[in-house]
Structure 1
Amino acid sequence: MILSYLITALRAFKNQKQHFILNVLGLSVGLAAAILVALFAKNELSYDSQQPHAERVYRVGQDFSKLGLAVVPIFNYVQSKQAEDYSQVEEVFGLTMVELTREAMVDVSYRNQGYKLNALYGATANIENFIALKTLAGDLTTAMSTPDSLALSESEALRIFGRTDVIGETLTHEQGQYTVRAVFADLKDNTHFAFKNLVYVKHDPSKIDINSSYVYMRVAEGTDTDALAKTLTKRFFSNSMLEQVSLELHPLLDLHLTAKSPFEMKAGGAKQVVMICVGLSVLLILIAGFNFINMTIAQSTKRAKEVGVRKALGASKGQLVTQFLSESVLVSILSMVIACALVELLLPSFNQLVDRELVVNYASEFGIAIIVVAIAVGILAGLYPAFFISSFSAKRVLSGDLQRGNTAIWVRKSLLTLQASLAIGLIIASITLLKQLTYLQSLPLGYETTQRLVISELPVGEVFTKEKNALVNRISAIQGVQQTTVIDTRLTVSINNTLMPTWPNGEASGSLTPVVGASYDVVKTLGLKLVAGRDFSREFAGDWASRENGVTSTGTIVTESVARQAGYTNMSDIIGKVIKDSGRGIDMRVVGVVEDVKVGNAKDANSNIMFLCGFNFLSPVSELILTIDQQNLPYIKAQIAEVLASSANIYEPKINLLADNYKTLLKGDERISNVVLIFTGLAVFLTCLGTFGLASFATVRRQKEVAVRKVLGASRISIVNIIAKEFLVLVAVSIAIAYPVTYLLVGDWLANFNDRIEQAVWVYLVAAVAVATITWVTVASLAFKAASTRPSLILRYE
């Protein structure tokens, strides 16, 4: 019996090649997209699930949103240990940012060869209770509890030593040496942790005001973490700070998709991307299934006589349903095989698109799920066509009467309307996404990104000095370097420090104002637009910060936003006025006003900035900004690396163009737009297939009408338009559905940006016209063929 079904199915495929190819093409494309997205979603949702007691581990965050800043995932480890006094907290673990705090040396040498310890963090000795690490050699607990000890990842050990059996080896740095006491396997990709090397760090109990650690707490089962966070907030902050700052406990399993702080160890994912991908992939499978139904029914008349003969010979309805379902499942399985081949071809490009290293393991639960989904799609998509075709009456079929009710036609038109609505919405969304990204890239930042080179994470003491030092002089002397300045903030990341100013009229601001420590010539080097006053200059001794009688005096350059907050509409009027921060004892004399500067990411960049000359809020590192001749970029980079190694023992420095740093801010949204563009193209393609299927059915159903109209003198174009009219009506209904829904969804997405475009009417018109045109062309191609057929061939049996 099964063999008979198989032979019949193969014979049907051979006789209906076009129908078979279109069905396989539609299903394979839909399944391939679903497999890729399911693989991506599975990976995104698996982040940190391998960690011990992951469901009960939380990371501490400080919420500064009431002060106009973000939630920062950094806290003081010494303070956090006090949380173990509460029964709800079982254990506390700390991971310290030594690279930024300079609590350990990142530049080392081995056998006179310099290296930079990449992604170096200080860890407490209980690290293995919080992170699933495979120790290859030595002992991690010993390493993280012994001074001057180092634990290397496998890749770092191979990079530096060329082997992993390196226990007892030493690496020399400026202040001494490290002894390697452990080697661990590289971290898996699906974790938010991103360290490559670990070092012992001593936490000073007297320095509870320094926040430099990622703090993780394992809580007891059933703990109310919101209540615990409020309790810890009251314990660690004074009454004056309780209304401004609070602690939050963020679930470890949610960090990858929800944590968006600029201080994250590595860039996380986004729920929005996962939801969009999953939603669109489900829609693609549905569209592919709808197409299968439409095209199978469109071809049903060609098999009507076969059904009639089988019924006349005694075939039951159950046997016929089984026959047509087996054909559907066979098509689905074949489509699955082709889809898997497409996945293997497209996976490298897809990995690049989503910035992941995904691999399909077919000999796993995921592989079984693919087979189950393929069979389910075959059965579900084939049920309606199977019952539809098997319900033909043998008497009516063999007598040439094959009229069907209106219900089936209504269902198929509804499916096509839904497909067209999705296509219109996706076209609108993709065009708007591209326009928004283009707009963000063209926004005036207040500083120049072209021909600016950034040397990151340089020790403040090496470059942030009042007098020119040897290191900066040597870099400035490199051919192609035109101008230099130093700042203590990463312009494309986030503001590090703030103060609460009192304006020249004595009025307190009541909110925090971001500040950037800077050296001389900051306006000239960064390309700031000077509105009033002047740049920081060595010609004015009072510009550089100096402390006397408990008060720090410094020159400041403010943005127009700050000047307006201070109550000045004429920017020149604030020049020479003094802005104070009484809490810290700082007097800031305004020497210049510049156009607003955007510091931070594209969505919530700060623009009310104050540049302070020679003043640094305990930041251990700084950035050296160079104006360069970009044609000499490779030479300049090589020379800078040589100077830093020979003059400051700084190896493998981070040297990037400022323009490249800014582009990385938009990668997340660019990734979303690319995903939407790809799925939009697939949706439009599958919609065309669906239109083709329904148009095929319509032309077959109305072929006698077409023949009669031709006999009565109708032209081919008029006949094409008559048939296409009913499809254009469906497109009109699709537009009415798609417009309001798309407007709301796209509007919500745009609301995430401080600087955003307005939704354009022409985008909606283009989407509607595009779908209408594609629909008309698809229908017209079939209708024209029907209208070109000789009426005698259709009406000869009438």
Structure 2
Amino acid sequence: MPRPPHWADRLLDRFVAPHRREDLQGDLQEIFLKRVTQVGLTQARREYGWAVLHYLTPFFYKRQTNKYPNPSTTDMLQNYLKIAIRNLTKNQVYSAINIGGLAVGMAVAMLIGLWVYDEFSFNQYHPNYDRIAQVMQHATSNGKVESQVANPAVMGPELRAKYGSNFKYVVQASWPGSYVLSVGDNHVSKEGIYFEPDGPAMLGLRMRQGTYAGLKDPYSIMLSESVAKSLFGNQNPMGKTLKVGRKYEVKVTGVYEDLPYNTSFRKVSVIMPWALWLIDNPWVKTMKKPWGSNFSQTYAQVADHVAMEDASTRIKNVKLDNLSKEEARYKWVAFLHPMRKWELYGEFKNGMNTGGQIKYVWMFGIIGVFVLILACINFMNLATARSEKRAKEVGIRKAVGSVRSQLVNQFFAESYLVVFLAFLVAVLLVLLLLPPFNEVADKKIEFLWNKPQFWFICLAFIGITGLVAGSYPAFYLSSFQPLSVLKGTFRVGKWAAVPRQALVVVQFTVSIVLIIGTIVVYQQIQHAKNRPIGYNRNGLVNLGVEKEIKEHFEAFRAELKEAGAIEEMAASSSPLTGVWNTNGGFDWAGKDPNLGVDFPNSNVTYEWGKTVGWKVKEGRDFSREFATDSSAFIINEAMKQFLPFKNPVGKILKWENKPYTIIGVVSDIMAESPFYPVRPSLYHIDSDTPWNMTIRLKAAKSPSQSIAVLEQIWRKYVPNVPFQYEFVDQQYGSKFKAEERIGTLSAYFAVLAIFISCLGIFGMASFIAEQRTKEIGIRKVLGASVMNLWQLLTKDFALLVLVACVIATPIAYYYLTDWLKGYDYRVDISWWVFVVAAIGALGITLLTVSYQSIKAALLNPVRSLRSE
């Protein structure tokens, strides 16, 4: 009978008390005999001796400290690292799954973190962004409270005159627009704005040349660096002249740094004086009711000693105090909307700020956290699933003297090594994915290499992730009892797999919620896209109206038709895809005298209806054959429902006390958001004020041929203005950009969540197939088919996914119903969405598991059973 080394038993006799020695020697000898059959006598005697020495180590510390010095912290860390690397390289498949899954999760969390940072830092480029505000107004019209940014041009001077002590700057501004700048034969079209002189100082522009005082001269201009470069090359632009359009020559008095993408003024690359805008629009100074027309913007910077809320309260009646009793029925209330809220809290409903982009910031922030948690779950699941393989390691370590804290530290060292390697891979992934991510998210996010806060967050990120991912394996595996493990009596128990199963359910719950959310967002977009728009947008082109075109409109139209390039053309005050002007002052028989109304009221030329292809429901279209049509209205169906008339055709509407006859009712034209109801609207003939041209191209010709003819004739009338056009269907499609962006990002994150979950499932399936190799072999010998074995290995995973579907369904329904409440025109959530998501998740899971299951089922049982 083989015996353990004699010297080891003598050590036990000398240093261990008799009542403990007998039990210990019995356990060790039982293990020794088992190890002899497994590894041979020599190796078993060596292991027995080392076990005794490590067990007696504390006694040697007390008696011979110099002979057995306490290892240093550095030595311990090096040992932890060596063992961690050894385990990673030994189990390469599991290491790749762990590192890859964590890297993808961390990359997603980093991308979302950079996006959230960009959103929260919006407008912080401006030094005083926390004290800058836009003056807005609430007005009660059409029976509800509307909020608007448009103000009368006298708002700025009035605020300075009556409330000047509350503000450091008050700046009146135009709406941003496209302007043609010319230096000799060099023509460029850039977006610009007209500001009062304090505008650049208020925004804190970073001047490269010139000063903030550059707009005091009415015939001056300030350019961004890129525009100055495109116009003047390497020459010094200061003091040089250029033309704006073909009207005014202006002198360059300042060059400022290009504004970053995450500011509300990012597209503004040209700034001109407000005084020049007033010169170009002399009607502003001759208005009979200057407070009755809202067509400009007002910005303000509150004084350092004044709170934003206090200043907002003080100015609330600034407009109301200047209106007649009749105009006051709109109950105008002025207020300040802080710049820090423009991006994230830009939505108002019934006079209340209802949020805005902030809901998506929270949504994607939560998604980022959950995707990272999914990756951590993979690590924990695979580590605990392999517990039986590492149980002997833990038992031997404990038997030779390791205390639990050392084992915990060892497992945490492995966890942090995996997390660190995953972080390096994640950084590489982020650098590769940032360009396409920016394109989808409509951002220009850069990796924050030079931000110490970013690296501090990354270190905290690594620390927290390593702690979360490694805590469960560390404390779970270190809790094994060495004697039961080494004697072979250790069993994980029937409940040991429950935590892993629960984590898998959490993974797929999150993934299924994202799948359902992506489907519903797509449905909502398609629901709005399929909504009737009231006209035929195919072949429609939108053009701005230049002075020469306006003066020769009929000749221009006739020449285009004669050339065979167009079917028809017309002009209007608002484009088909927007509302540029609204009016009040309407009255009709039976109207409540206290009701304030404000309707989109488009000036159009006679051929407007024929050009756009609107659908006349009642009455007739405008016609040159009826001279009375110059005092006629065509209304939309929403207006018909608003008016008290059952048959509105022939009824009289008064506008500014002038009678207009309703001659027709047309289908609602989707000019504004397709997610909200169409407003009651009117159309009337006015050939003097249209600012926009709509052209229907010849259907028989290719669009490119027609556009070429259109450009040629355009240059005949306006030779010095770049020919710029846009298809109406493109303009209409841009209305869905925000929702499509959210839907695309949600889809990407859902795919990544499913990928991470399936990566974990793949690892689990690999381990279970390996663990049950002998069982599978025995079943095959006893006649089990491949299909039987496949069902055996996949049914548990399928059940977990079904449980996740049951949990995910009410969660997704609750949050998506709440999200859809933000749209007046919305889709209903159908039952089939949840079924499709469940079938999709189940199908993906089965495909993931099937590879390992079928591979194990096809294994030759002779190979799997030969060790027995």
Same-fold status (TM-score > 0.5): yes
Is 1:96 aligned to residue 173 of structure 2? yes
CA contact (8 A) 2:137 2:147 kept: yes
User: What's 2:155 paired with?
Assistant: 79
C-alpha deviation, 1:269, in angstroms: 8.5
C-alpha deviation, 1:796, in angstroms: 8.9
C-alpha deviation, 1:679, in angstroms: 0.6
User: What's 2:613 paired with?
Assistant: 527
Partner Cα distance (2:479, 2:777) in 1: 28
CA contact (8 A) 2:606 2:623 kept: yes
Partner Cα distance (1:498, 1:480) in 2: 35
Select the residue among 353, 371, 384 that pairs with 1:284.
Answer: 371
Is 1:449 aligned to residue 522 of structure 2? no
- Measured against aligned partners, the alpha-carbon deviations of 1:340-367 in whole angstroms (never above 9, x if no partner) come to 1111221111111011112213343224
Q: Which runs of 5+ in 2 are unaligned?
A: 1-74, 279-283, 349-354
CA contact (8 A) 2:133 2:299 kept: yes
Tell me whether 359-368 or 780-789 shows the greater mean CA deviation: 780-789
Corresponding letter in the other structure for 1:557: I
Taking only aligned residues, the RMSD between alpha carbons, in angstroms, comes to: 3.2
Tell me whether 336-345 or 785-794 shows the greater mean CA deviation: 785-794
Select the residue among 633, 637, 641 that pairs with 1:556.
Answer: 633
User: What's 1:18 paired with?
Assistant: 93
Tell me, what secondary structure is at the counterpart of 2:632?
Answer: strand
C-alpha deviation, 1:625, in angstroms: 0.4
User: What's 2:210 paired with?
Assistant: 138
How many corresponding residue pairs? 766
Tell me, what secondary structure is at the counterpart of 2:654?
Answer: strand
C-alpha deviation, 1:168, in angstroms: 1.7
Is 1:594 aligned to residue 666 of structure 2? yes
**Pair 73,641 (structure 1): closer, same or farther in 2 beyond 3 Å:** farther
Select the residue among 341, 346, 360 that pairs with 1:259.
Answer: 346
Partner Cα distance (1:351, 1:784) in 2: 41
Query: Aligned ranges for residues 657-672 of structure 1 at < 5 Å?
Result: 657-672=727-742
User: What's 1:766 paired with?
Assistant: 836
User: What's 2:825 paired with?
Assistant: 755
Select the residue among 379, 385, 389 that pairs with 2:473.
Answer: 385
Partner Cα distance (2:331, 2:135) in 1: 17
Corresponding letter in the other structure for 2:217: T
CA contact (8 A) 1:562 1:610 kept: yes
TM-score by length of 1: 0.88
CA contact (8 A) 1:230 1:246 kept: no
Tell me whether 393-402 or 427-436 shows the greater mean CA deviation: 393-402
**Pair 431,246 (structure 1): closer, same or farther in 2 beyond 3 Å:** same
C-alpha deviation, 1:140, in angstroms: 3.1
**Pair 635,724 (structure 1): closer, same or farther in 2 beyond 3 Å:** closer
User: What's 1:585 paired with?
Assistant: 657
User: What's 2:447 paired with?
Assistant: 360
Corresponding letter in the other structure for 2:622: F
C-alpha deviation, 1:161, in angstroms: 1.9
- Measured against aligned partners, the alpha-carbon deviations of 1:739-768 in whole angstroms (never above 9, x if no partner) come to 112112222222233332221211111111
Tell me, what secondary structure is at the counterpart of 2:315?
Answer: helix
Partner Cα distance (1:463, 1:515) in 2: 23
User: What's 1:299 paired with?
Assistant: 386
Select the residue among 629, 643, 655 that pairs with 2:698.
Answer: 629
Partner Cα distance (1:137, 1:473) in 2: 49
- Measured against aligned partners, the alpha-carbon deviations of 1:392-435 in whole angstroms (never above 9, x if no partner) come to 22222222233225665332222211111112211111112212
C-alpha deviation, 1:658, in angstroms: 0.2
- Measured against aligned partners, the alpha-carbon deviations of 1:681-708 in whole angstroms (never above 9, x if no partner) come to 1111112123334445666777787677
Corresponding letter in the other structure for 2:300: M
CA contact (8 A) 1:154 1:164 kept: no
Select the residue among 520, 523, 527 that pairs with 1:439.
Answer: 527
Partner Cα distance (2:459, 2:563) in 1: 62
CA contact (8 A) 2:137 2:333 kept: yes
Select the residue among 520, 543, 547 that pairs with 2:629.
Answer: 543
**Pair 55,348 (structure 1): closer, same or farther in 2 beyond 3 Å:** same
Is 1:52 aligned to residue 137 of structure 2? no
Partner Cα distance (1:146, 1:384) in 2: 70
- Measured against aligned partners, the alpha-carbon deviations of 1:142-168 in whole angstroms (never above 9, x if no partner) come to x21112111111111122222351122
**Pair 513,77 (structure 1): closer, same or farther in 2 beyond 3 Å:** closer
**Pair 664,428 (structure 1): closer, same or farther in 2 beyond 3 Å:** same
Corresponding letter in the other structure for 2:335: E
Structure having the higher Rg: 2
User: What's 2:681 paired with?
Assistant: 609
C-alpha deviation, 1:479, in angstroms: 4.1
- Measured against aligned partners, the alpha-carbon deviations of 1:262-290 in whole angstroms (never above 9, x if no partner) come to xxxxxx98223322322211111000000
CA contact (8 A) 1:424 1:735 kept: yes
CA contact (8 A) 2:172 2:297 kept: yes
Tell me, what secondary structure is at the counterpart of 1:198?
Answer: strand
User: What's 2:182 paired with?
Assistant: 109
Corresponding letter in the other structure for 2:485: V
Partner Cα distance (1:535, 1:138) in 2: 56
CA contact (8 A) 1:94 1:213 kept: no
Corresponding letter in the other structure for 2:119: E
CA contact (8 A) 2:571 2:690 kept: no
CA contact (8 A) 2:139 2:330 kept: no
Tell me whether 227-236 or 605-614 shows the greater mean CA deviation: 227-236
CA contact (8 A) 1:137 1:165 kept: no
Report % sequence identity. 27
User: What's 1:489 paired with?
Assistant: 574
Partner Cα distance (2:584, 2:742) in 1: 36
Tell me whether 161-170 or 88-97 shows the greater mean CA deviation: 88-97
Partner Cα distance (2:841, 2:861) in 1: 32
Partner Cα distance (2:844, 2:93) in 1: 20
Is 1:157 aligned to residue 228 of structure 2? yes
Select the residue among 229, 234, 244 that pairs with 2:317.
Answer: 234
**Pair 109,776 (structure 1): closer, same or farther in 2 beyond 3 Å:** closer
Is 1:187 aligned to residue 259 of structure 2? yes
CA contact (8 A) 1:532 1:594 kept: yes
**Pair 153,478 (structure 1): closer, same or farther in 2 beyond 3 Å:** farther
Corresponding letter in the other structure for 1:311: K
C-alpha deviation, 1:254, in angstroms: 1.5
**Pair 593,378 (structure 1): closer, same or farther in 2 beyond 3 Å:** same
C-alpha deviation, 1:135, in angstroms: 1.5
Corresponding letter in the other structure for 1:410: V
CA contact (8 A) 1:336 1:371 kept: no
Partner Cα distance (1:596, 1:462) in 2: 33
Is 1:326 aligned to residue 413 of structure 2? yes
Query: Aligned ranges for residues 459-470 of structure 1 at < 5 Å?
Result: 468-470=553-555
Corresponding letter in the other structure for 2:568: Q
Corresponding letter in the other structure for 1:684: I
Corresponding letter in the other structure for 1:150: I
CA contact (8 A) 1:77 1:94 kept: no
Tell me, what secondary structure is at the counterpart of 2:94?
Answer: helix
**Pair 393,787 (structure 1): closer, same or farther in 2 beyond 3 Å:** farther
User: What's 1:681 paired with?
Assistant: 751
CA contact (8 A) 1:483 1:626 kept: yes
Q: Which runs of 5+ in 1 are unaligned?
A: 262-267, 545-553
Corresponding letter in the other structure for 2:82: I
Partner Cα distance (2:411, 2:473) in 1: 8
Partner Cα distance (1:145, 1:638) in 2: 43
Tell me, what secondary structure is at the counterpart of 1:413?
Answer: helix
Corresponding letter in the other structure for 1:167: M
**Pair 500,206 (structure 1): closer, same or farther in 2 beyond 3 Å:** closer
TM-score by length of 2: 0.81
C-alpha deviation, 1:474, in angstroms: 4.5
Partner Cα distance (1:98, 1:514) in 2: 18
CA contact (8 A) 1:362 1:368 kept: no
**Pair 564,211 (structure 1): closer, same or farther in 2 beyond 3 Å:** closer
